[in-house]
Amino acid sequence: MATLMDVAHAAGVSKATASRALHRPDMVAEGTRLRVREAADRLGFQLNAAARALTTGRTGLVGLIVPTLSNPFFAPLVIGAQQAAEDTESHLLIAVSEYDAEREAALADRLSEQADGLIMVTPVGTDAALRERFRRQPLVLVDRQVGRLPAVVADTAAGLAELLGRLLDLGHREIAYVSGPAGSWADAQRRAALTAQASEAGAHVHVLGPLPPTFDAGIEASRSLPAAATAVLAYNSYLALGLLHGLGTTGRRVPEDISLAAADDLSTLGATTPPVTALDVPLQQVGRLAVTRLHELLDGQRRTVTSRVPAAPVLRASTAPPRVS
């Protein structure tokens, strides 16, 4: 592989000039810039990332830790992060924690050796550990808020509140919320938002769970819904699909007998019978923003704020006025 030295030689300039011609175009005469560029192209020159990293102290690598990839929910997050990384000439170093706090910590330790900073979507695990980690390295949290640590969160709580509002408008007063994994930060936010708003409106939210966010758990949940409930909100699409399935097998029709909605929107929700009302969570934007925030952090712009990205309800056929009984 050709080195900068080779390029400099071929162009008849010094290493320093060659380096500047490539990275500081305005610090060099137009003519030499062209000659260097030409030589670089001709030799197929590629900058040695390691050497560059050694001098600049930047690797150009962004560490991203997600709990799972088995849930397509996270795909847009990765896509968005990748887009932002491309825009900033950096790359994504990905690791999957499998919802295991210990494993997550180990991965974070290992990634941080190579990456300039970390983006973690870590629904479980303690606040203290994250605080401690932030002390040691640039860190942006996703879908979780810990004190004033930099974070990007999709505001599903607010979105879900809006969704609840629609249900209240339709006339529902007894609503079940099938909650997600134990200890989930996002889930706690949603429960709080829902119960607060319901009591304000003279309605009541029955909380089921915590439950694993799976299809099977949804089926189970469909059997233990409070009899009074005329609508049910699910923590995620899998639970919603399970609920839909479970309700179907026990002869309860959606939405005639009971309305159904989910707090995230996997594409399959639009293709079921009936299509399921859901919350559109702009995770791609969240991913982009997280990378942007991280770079701000690295550049010393101390924007340790939480960015909120709004989530909006997508109304489909699974929600309707309650049965008048």
Partner DNA sequence: TTGTATGCGTTATCAT
Partner DNA sequence: ATGATAACGCATACAA
- Name the residues that contact its own copies, by CB under 8 A: 46-51, 53-54, 59-61, 68-72, 74-76, 78-79, 82, 86, 91-96, 98, 110-111, 113-114, 215-216, 219, 241-242, 245, 249, 267-268, 271-273
> Any residues with CB less than 8 A from the CB of 240 and at least 6 apart, and which?
218, 234, 260, 261, 262, 269, 276, 278
Assess contact for 240 and 277: CB atoms under 8 A: no
Contact call for residue 304 and DNA (CB under 7 A) = no
Contact call for residue 37 and DNA (CB under 7 A) = no
Assess contact for 82 and 61: CB atoms under 8 A: no
**Exactly one of 10, 17, 117, 184 binds DNA (CB under 7 A); which one?**
17
Contact call for residue 114 and DNA (CB under 7 A) = no
> Across the strands, what pairs with 232?
176, 260
Between 20 and 316, CB nearer to DNA: 20
**Nearest-angstrom CA–CA distance, 91 and 115:** 9
Closest residue by Cα to residue 99 from 77, 73, 68: 68
> Any residues with CB less than 8 A from the CB of 86 and at least 6 apart, and which?
none
| Token code pair at residue 258 | 């009971």
Which of the choices its own copies, DNA, none does residue 120 contact, using the CB cut-off of 5 to 8 A by kind? Answer: none
* Residue list 239-268, contact with DNA (CB under 7 A): none
* Residue list 51-70, contact with DNA (CB under 7 A): 51-52, 54-56
**Of the listed pieces 20-28, 64-72, 210-218, 314-322, which binds DNA according to CB under 7 A?**
20-28
**Can you say how many angstroms the Cα of residue 165 is from the centroid of all Cα atoms in its chain?**
25
Helix, strand, or coil here: 151? strand
Which of the choices DNA, its own copies, none does residue 20 contact, using the CB cut-off of 5 to 8 A by kind? Answer: DNA
**Of the listed pieces 28-36, 137-145, 152-160, 204-212, which binds DNA according to CB under 7 A?**
28-36
Between 163 and 266, CB nearer to its own copies: 266
Minimum separation from the CB atom of position 90 to DNA (A): 14
Query: Which string of b and e fits 86-102 if b means at least 16 CB within 10 Å?
Result: eeeebebbbbbbebeee
Which of the choices its own copies, DNA, none does residue 236 contact, using the CB cut-off of 5 to 8 A by kind? Answer: none
Minimum separation from the CB atom of position 136 to DNA (A): 16
Amino acid (one-letter) located at 176:
A
Minimum separation from the CB atom of position 55 to DNA (A): 4
- Helix ranges, the chain (H): 4-11, 15-23, 30-43, 49-56, 75-87, 101-114, 127-136, 156-170, 185-200, 215-223, 237-249, 283-298
Minimum separation from the CB atom of position 81 to DNA (A): 24
**Which residues sit at the interface with DNA, rule CB under 7 A?**
1, 3-5, 12-17, 19-20, 22-23, 27-29, 31-33, 45-48, 51-52, 54-56
